[in-house]
Every structure is written in C-alpha cells, then in structure tokens.
Chains A and B, each alone.
Chain A
Amino acid sequence: MIKEYSTIDEISGPLMLVSGLKGVGTGERAEVELKDGSVRSGTVLEINGDSALLQLRGSEGIDLNGSKVRFMGHAPELAVSGDMLGRIFDGEGRPIDGGACLLAEKHIAFGGIPASPDMREGPKEMITTGFSALDAMDPLLRGQRIPMMTFPGIENRAFVSRLARETVSSGDDFAVVFAAIGVSFEEAESFVQDFRRVGILDRTVVFETLSDDPAAAQAEALSTAMTAAEYLAFEKDLQVLFVMTDLTAWCEALREISSARREARGNGFFPRYLRGELASVFERAGRRSGKSGSVTFLPVMTLQDEDFSGTLPEIVNSVSDGRIVLSRGLARKGIYPPVDVIRSCSRLKDSCIGPGRTRGDHADIARGLFLAYSRGVEARGRAASAGDRYCAAFADEFEKSFLNQGRDGSRTMDETLDLGSELLKKLSK
C-alpha cells in the first residue's frame, strides 16, 4: 500500500528525516515529490520510532514545507525472466539498452534467501580455462567464490572476458551475469564490448550502476545482480559465471552510507558489519543440492600497491574460496595473463585435481613448479651465488614459457601439465 506524508523534518546532503510514519519498513522504496512536480527516489535506511531516515538520489531543491514523501510499501524487487540474457539493466533491474520492457516471469526480492548449509554442495567440477597459470596452479571450480585482485594500471578486462568465454563456450546451459558497480562509463562499456568481441554478449545479463550514481544505488546493485544470478542458476538450471567490478568501490559505497549514518566503524573506517555484508553476498553463490545449476562468483577488486594485507583484502579473503592475484611487475614484462601464482591461491584445489579428475601427476607438478618458482623469485633479489642465478633463471623461464601465453593462446590440460613437467625435468638436470 502506498502512503504519502509531508512531514519532512530535516534534509542534509543525501539524507532525509521524515516523522509521523506508520508501518514503514527498512529497505522500503520511497519517492519524494517536489513542489514543481519532479520526483526523486530513495530508500529507507533506518526506522526510529515513528521516523524514518531516507537515503536519496540527490536532494537538490527539496524543501521542508512543500515536498511530499510517498512510501511504496514494499522492498525493492527484481523482475526476472529467461529473456534477461543479452540485455542491459540498471542497478534496480530496469532495462537501459533501449530495448523492450521485460515480460517478468516472477518478481524476487533483492535480498534473496540465504541457503541453509545443508542445502549446499561443495564445488567439485573444474572449469578448464585454457590458462596454465590457473589450470595447473590454482584451478577454477564451478560454484567457487574467487575474487580477482588487481592493481591500477593492469589491463584485466581481456583476461576476464577470455575466462568468461572459456566458461560459456561449452554449451547452451551457460550464462554470464556482469555487474559494473561504481566504475566509469569507459570501464563498463569496455567490458561490454569485450564480451561482444569474444561472442558471449547474447549469453550475458549486464547490470550497470556507474560512478555517477549515489552510494545507496551502488550498494544495492550487487544484490540485484546476485538475485538474477541465483534465478538463472537455481531456477533455470544454468551454469552461471557472475563477474562484477569493482568490489573495492562497492565496499567504499557501504562505507559512505555507514559514515552518513554515523555508525561505529572498524579498521580502515569500514563499518564493522562489512564482513557480514560481504558474506551475505558471497554465500549466495555456489551449488545447491538437488539443483544442476551453479553460480561461480568472480568479483574484480582493485587494490592499491601496498595494501594487499589491508583491511579489505583480509575480509574478502576470509569469505571467499581463494583468490587470483594479478601483478604489475609481470604485466610490465609483457607476461599475459599476469597472474601472480605465488600470491594467488585456490582453497578447493585438492577436490578437483588428481587421478580420475585431471591427471595423476597434477599435484606433484603444481607443487614442484610452485616451490621452484618461489625459490627463483626470492633468489632474484640476491643473485650472488651460481645457485641463486640458476634459480632466478628458472623463474624467468617459468614466466616466459609457462605463465605467458599471449592474448589468444590456450592450452589443454595435458599441454599445460606436459609443459610443466618438461620445465621441472630441465631444472633437475
């Protein structure tokens, strides 16, 4: 039921306080109608007695006496349908590609419903990406939650869209959900064009809430996109790859809202509930018992060079099943993809490699390469003794011939493992 009030008490920046309310709930959608008839939308952040705190998309021109606030009576919902594939939506799920309105099969509340642990099934099936750095060292699994941590100045789009293509190309029961949150038009548009270039845009649902949208809209967009991913995976039985960029911007949007509400804050001034908020998104990805679909969650997260051990990566690590870390050093050397295999990790690796899954020697090769490469990287700094130089030379060789595959190179699992064991044989000579 829609209720209308004109009891605005306070307007401060994007926040508005309205009192004398009955039956208004948090998360409810609201509209403010100005004296001149124009309308601003907002969301209820907080309820205190009979008053509500609203976060608005711009408060310009709203006055205390003449403006009216309407509460829409329900939390925001996403209209979903199988026809979403190939379409572009805003953070609230409205089409923005100029195409026709979506004929909704049903409406789902953005929040989704957390799956209880007994409904879950651990990821088991490996996605062969064609990249040796991942396939051999840190394999990607269907239903894994694995952030890609990158740094300003590294080109990660082509890599991400290649990963998406490798995941999708194998059949009709695949889909990509892509959410661009808090990034520039250029960044979002380049992703969309890359998806088009590799030929998967018609299997992709795009959600865009760019950096000119208010923090509240950015914060909300991630659940919107996740709702679509869940729907496609668990109701349409598709294997879904959910790519979002940028997780840092999303966390900062939460921080901005939290600061506006003057909440107690933890490390890095992020709200103390950030881990919970992140977990409630990450936990929605994965596999469910009795369902054939899955959501593989690959958020891109831009870090600053030195804060790899900072607040955000630490929290994100604790709620995910590993991480893919890119390195500026490798990117500068022209190594593609510039995956830093020493800092990357896949917590589910052991459940998908080995005899009967990949190959009997997979684990040994991966371990051998990791040890020799990390020894070589350490030795580079010293390079005093002949042994050090030998180790460092292996590291160079490993980067040049194993990690580096060029823009279009793709290797089968066997090719990757054969190459790895060849390198190790050379080393032991």
Chain B
Amino acid sequence: MSGTVTKVSGPLVMAAGLEDAGAGDMVSVGKRRLAGEILSLSGNGAVIRMFDPSDGLAFGEEVSDFGGPLAVELGPGLFGGVFDSLLRPLYGGGDQTAVLWDFVPSVSDGAQVTEGDVIGTVTEAGGFIHRIMLPAGLSGTVVSIQEGSYAAQDSVCLLRDGEGENHRLTLTQRWPVRKSRPFARKTLPSAPLHSGIRAVDTFFPLAKGGTALISGAAGSGKTVLLQSLAGCSDADVIVYVCCGGRGNEISTLRNALSEMKDENGVSLLGRTVVIADTDDMPPASREAAVYAGATVAEYCRDMGYSVILLVDTLSAWAEGLREISEKLGEAVCEDAYPAYLGSRISELFWRAGQVNCLGREGRRGELTIIGSVSTSSGDAQETVLKSARRCVKVHLSLTDSREYPSVDFVTSFSMYAESLRERLTGELGERFMSSRDTALSALQSESPDAVTRMTASALREGFIIQNAFEENDRSSSSARQTILLRLITDCGGICRAAVAEGADPEKIAAIRLGEKIEKLKYFTDAELVESAKRITENMRNRTDAILAGEAEV
C-alpha cells in the first residue's frame, strides 16, 4: 500500500493514494524513509504529521503505509540509553539489533503460561534485571525455550496457543504508544514515594503510583528538582522524558546519573531510560515522545517494578500540540491551545497508578507520573498549569527565590498527606506527624508572632533548603528528616513555653535559632544526633537565662 506526496508544509505532509490506509497509521515518507503518522483521511488525500524534519521532501515522493498505529519496540537495551520519540537510540549506540543478550529462562518446556507471565530474564549492561514477559493476549504451552545468547529479534521461545497455533517469541514486543498497556486491576496508591527531598517528603509527600506536578518560572529549579527525584527517590526505574528544552540538559542529566551510585555502587544510569526530544525537533515528535515515555514506563511497571515517569516539560508538549493544531486550522481556546488540551493531559496522568500486573506471579507495579510546567514570568494562571493542576494529587509550586528547593508553602499541596496519613504515621511515628503539622502551620501562618517567625525561618534555613552538591545533604533519609524536624519544632516549643511564662518574645527571637542549625544538615548521622541534643539543651539554658533576667527586673 503506497501513495505519493502532494504537499509539504512544515511538519504536515499531504499524500494521495492512501485510501486503504487506516487513520492513525504509521507511514514512511520519501526516499529517506522519514517517519510520519496519518492524522486524517478524506477523498482529497491523507494529512500526515511528521516525526522527522520534512526538509528536502519533494512532490511525488513515495509514501508507504506500515499498516498499524504509532508503536515502539520494547525490549533489552533500553536502560542507560537515550532515545528519540520513536525509541531510536540517539547517543551513538550503533546498530542495536546486532547486540547479543544472555537470556535465562524462568519457565521450562511444557509449562502453561498466560499473558504477562515472565518467561525469562536478561541482565542489562548496567545490572538491571529485564524481565521478558509474554505479550498481552497470548497464552498457551511452551514448546521449547532455551538459555543462550540472542539478538533482540531472535526467537527465544516457541509457544503453542489454545488453538494449536505456534508463536515465535523474541526478546522484544511492540506496543502502540497511545494505548495504555493492560493490567489486571488498578488500586489506590498505598505507599509513599521517598524522594530524599525534605520539603517534599515531610510536607508535600508523593505516592508510588500517584501523580504530581511541578510548576515554576524559567530558572526556578524545576529541572534540578526533577533530576534529584531521578537520582534520589526510592523507585526501581526512572523514565525521563526531556520534552523541549536544550540538548545540554540531557548531557548534564546523563553525567549526573552516571556519577551517582546506589548503595551497591551501581551507577543510577543503569536504571534510567531517557527519551529526548529537544526544542529543535518537529512538534509531532515532541507530542509522541511523551507517549513513548509512558509506554516504556508502563512496560517496566508490568515487570513488577516501581517506576517514575518524569516529563520535563508538559508546557513544551502542549506547545507541540498547539503547533500541529494551528497548522490544521482547528478551532482553538485559551492562548490558542486546542480544546482537547485538558483531556490529553488528563489521559496522560490517567496512565499512572498502582496495579496488579497481568501474569500469574501476582506482581505489583507502580507508575508515578510527575510533570513539570513552566509558568512564563511567574504567571500562575497559565493555561497548561490550569489544566494540569486539576489532574494531579500533588502540586509543588516553585518561586524564583534562588533557594533550593524553592517550594511555595501557600500554593503547593499534596492530597497524599491526608490519604496516606495512617501509613505515614505508622512509618514515621505519631510524634513526627505532629511536629510536621506544627511546622507546616508555622510556615503557612498569615500573621506570625516573633517566635513563629523565628521557627519558620529556622525551618527554611535548617530544614527546607537542601544542597544538591553536598554528599550528606543531597538526599535526606527519613531518620535524618525526623531528627532535624524534631530539633526545630522542639526548640520552637521551648521558646513558646518561655514566652508563655513571661519572657520577652523579641529577646527570645534574638537567639536566632536558624543560624545555629543551618550547618547541621551537612553533618554525618552520628554527629547530627549529638549536635541536635546539644542545641536543644543550649536552647533550654538560653531561654531559662532570659526568663531569669525578666524575673530580676
């Protein structure tokens, strides 16, 4: 089935002779076999949006139909790599099809298997265990399966289905990116996602399988925050979609992740898949990158892992949608975004969740989706932000205060603080939760008194601000967060008690708690416990001295 190019207009191409092609089919356009997708079909021909730049494409060049929707190949080789929106390797990976993978079967000949069952594993270069699953819709008896070295497209297993038909299974499977991958059952997120970022974990907790949004103006630290989430959170897999933005960011991310090591000394790059689609690529490609990312993330979720999909930025994605929509002359809404912007964003976030995976092992997987939105010149009412904020359970709104992380405590929220409260209380203790509530109300107080002001500034300097470049402070364990938070709220409590007994609030505030504890966060765990004790003691002595002074007068 093939047609010919009749018109080329930037990212859109018109072609004739494709009447038998389906809407949404992938096509290959021209001599250079550029990738495109059929957007609409009519008697006048097909409208195709291009994933590759259409420069140099000429009238009359051939267009051939692949006979299926936009799909990607999922299999070994994803981890540690950087890919474009069609999962083609970007960083000089060379010909991936020739790479051999050591396949270890986990079922034997004659085994009965159903869709989603793990039939074997492959260990990726970075040490990641890649579970090879039976594609959705297939079940039957294993005729033969053998350990060995295979290329991605080699047959590793022969399966006979219920109707007696044989299927050759390879290490890879194809999946159409716009369709979410199936699971047995979706359930409500039940576990917090530990991010190592104190402001997030303590005040605006994330959940495994939940949704979150990070918004802020250019330079407010969105990307830094996302990158530390990629490096420090307790997820198994990170899928990082660089949507828009500069190519440099991708190199920075790669370098940072390859330097970071987990507790076993393994580079974090090995658990990361990066999909890059920088600003200079065609808008359709930017649109597809997000779906490719979601599909890879779901694929890893289906293996039974806890996965985070980071989309940086949703704004660039929305601009991609807008650019195509404009070219098509669609009726548009606010800021010229298409009317379906809101539903596309909510469809994307819909793919998040905690699921019971297909397959008989009863694996549980979680897909957390965290997107960023850039607000031009701090205007909080940007259309993309409006649409996205309604779809998420956590919103971290960043200010341009140049601190890190510059979370705005008034506009940010996390619904998981409420819905996971029981679980959080169980993990961190009743006392931590009440310290947390005290601290939060000090930070959000509209008309703070002197002591509250002092406590709030101590919280900011000693707790919230985190140094991404200091070994001990980059990621903060729950234990460290508990010690630091309790120290500050305890000291606040001592001061408040002193004021209640008649001490001058201004004198108490002059103790300047913040200065004393600012450096504490760089200490090792042992030093931290010691110093916290000392400072609390010292605080008690100082307030007692002030009280004694008042009594004398």
- Partner of A252 from the list B176, B342, B419 (CB cut-off 8 Å) is B342
Q: Which of A140-155 contact B (CB under 8 A)?
A: 152-153, 155
Whether B488 is near chain A, meaning CB under 8 Å from some CB there, is no
The listed residue (B23, B346, B411) touching A60 by CB distance below 8 A is B23
Q: Are A59 and B24 in touch, CB under 8 angstroms?
A: yes
B188 at the interface (CB under 8 A from A): yes
On chain B, the residues within 8 Å of A152 by CB distance are 389-390, 395, 413
Answer whether residue A103 sits at the interface, using C-beta atoms and an 8 A cutoff. Answer: no
Q: Are B393 and A186 in contact (CB under 8 A)?
A: yes
Are A259 and B330 in contact, with the CB atoms below 8 A?
yes
Nearest-neighbour CB distance to chain A for B306, whole angstroms, equals 16
Q: For chain A residues 17-65, which have a beta carbon within 8 Å of chain B?
A: 17, 34, 59-65
Measured in the bound complex, the distance between the Cα atoms of B447 and A383 in whole Å is: 11
Q: With contacts A11-B40, A13-B39, A61-B22 known, is A269 near B334, CB below 8 A?
A: yes
Closest to B393 in A: A186
Known A-B contacts A10-B41, A10-B42, A255-B333; A211 and B22 likewise in contact (beta carbons under 8 Å) = no
Chain A residues lying within 8 Å of B186, measured Cβ to Cβ, are 185, 189
Q: Is B518 an interface residue (CB 8 A)?
A: no
Q: Among the listed B40, B178, B412, which residue makes an inter-chain contact with A13, where contact means beta carbons less than 8 Å apart?
A: B40
Bound CA span A17–B42, Å: 9
Please tell me if the beta carbons of B346 and A12 are within 8 angstroms of each other in the complex: no
User: Across the two chains, which residue of chain B brings its CB closest to A66?
Assistant: B20
With a CB–CB cut-off of 8 A, which chain B residues contact A210? 350
CB distance from A300 to the nearest CB of B (A): 12
* Chain B CB within 10 Å, residue with most, of A153, A246, A332: A153
- Taking the nearest CB of chain A, how far is it from the CB of B523, in angstroms? 33
Q: Is B331 engaged at the interface, CB distance under 8 Å to the other chain?
A: yes
Query: Are A269 and B333 within 8 A (Cβ)?
Result: yes
Chain A residues within 8 Å of B415, by CB: 153, 155
With A and B bound together, what is the CA distance between A423 and B186 in angstroms?
Answer: 49
**Interface assignment of B444: CB less than 8 Å from any CB of chain A:** yes
Q: Is B120 an interface residue (CB 8 A)?
A: no
A215–B22 CB distance below 8 A: no
B211 touches A215 (CB 8 A): no
Tell whether, in the assembled complex, residue A61 and residue B24 are in contact, meaning their CB atoms are under 8 Å apart: yes
Determine whether the beta carbon of A11 is less than 8 Å from that of B41. yes
A33 CB to nearest chain B CB (Å)? 13
Is the beta-carbon distance between B339 and A269 smaller than 8 angstroms? yes
Chain B, interface size: which category? 35 or more
Closest-CB distance, A299 to chain B (whole angstroms): 15
Residues of chain B lying within 8 A (CB to CB) of residue A66: 20
Question: Given known contacts A10-B43, A155-B415, is B25 in contact with A268 (CB within 8 Å)?
Answer: no
List the B side residues contacting A153 at CB < 8 Å. Answer: 395, 412-413, 415
Q: Give the distance in Å from the alpha carbon of A311 to the alpha carbon of B343 in the complex.
A: 19
A190 CB-CB contact with B under 8 Å: yes
Q: B2 within 8 Å of A by Cβ?
A: no
Contact pattern, B 174-193, Cβ under 8 Å of A = 1, otherwise 0? 00101010000011110000
Residues of chain B within 8 A of A13, CB atoms compared: 39-40
Q: B42, B178, B331, B386 — which one has the most chain A CB atoms within 10 A of its CB?
A: B331
Chain B positions 388-447 with a Cβ under 8 Å from a chain A Cβ = 389-391, 393, 395, 410-413, 415, 418-419, 437, 441, 444, 447
Q: Are A302 and B40 in contact (CB under 8 A)?
A: no
What residue of chain B has the Cβ atom nearest to residue A253's Cβ? B343
Q: Give which listed residue, A61, A65, A155, A263, contacts B25 with CB less than 8 A.
A: A61
Say if the beta carbon of B347 comes within 8 Å of chain A: yes
Whether A9 sits at the interface, judged by CB under 8 Å, is yes
A304 at the interface (CB under 8 A from B): yes
- CB–CB A65/B19 < 8 A: yes
In the complex, whether A96 has a CB less than 8 A from a CB of chain B is no
Choose one: A185, A265, A334; the contact of B331 (CB below 8 Å). Answer: A265
Docked Cα-Cα span, A338 to B447, in Å, equals 19
Within 8 A of B (CB), among A61-76: 61-66
Cβ-based interface call for A172 (8 A): no
A401 at the interface (CB under 8 A from B): no
Whether B248 sits at the interface, judged by CB under 8 Å, is no
- For B391, the chain A residues whose CB sits under 8 A away are 184, 211
Give the residues in chain A near B19, CB-CB below 8 Å: 63-65
Asked whether B381 is an interface residue with its Cβ less than 8 Å from the other chain, the reply is yes
| Residue among B180, B390, B411, B418 facing the most chain A CB atoms (10 A cut-off) | B390
Q: What is A's interface to B at a CB cutoff of 8 Å? A: 9-13, 17, 34, 59-66, 152-153, 155, 182, 184-186, 189-190, 193, 210-212, 214-215, 246, 248-249, 252-253, 255-256, 258-260, 262-263, 265, 268-269, 302, 304-306, 332-334, 380, 383
Chain B residues near A (Cβ < 8 Å): 19-25, 39-43, 47, 68-69, 176, 178, 180, 186-189, 210-211, 330-334, 338-340, 342-343, 346-347, 349-350, 353, 380-381, 386, 389-391, 393, 395, 410-413, 415, 418-419, 437, 441, 444, 447
Instruction: Please name 17 further chain A to chain B contacts, defined as beta carbons within 8 Å, in addition to the given A11-B40, A59-B24, A61-B24, sorted by A numbering.
Output: A9-B43, A60-B69, A63-B23, A152-B413, A153-B395, A155-B418, A184-B350, A189-B186, A211-B347, A211-B391, A212-B350, A246-B390, A259-B330, A259-B338, A260-B340, A305-B411, A334-B437
By Cβ-Cβ distance, the 9 closest A-B pairs, closest first, are A153-B413, A259-B339, A211-B346, A12-B40, A10-B42, A60-B24, A61-B22, A269-B333, A259-B331
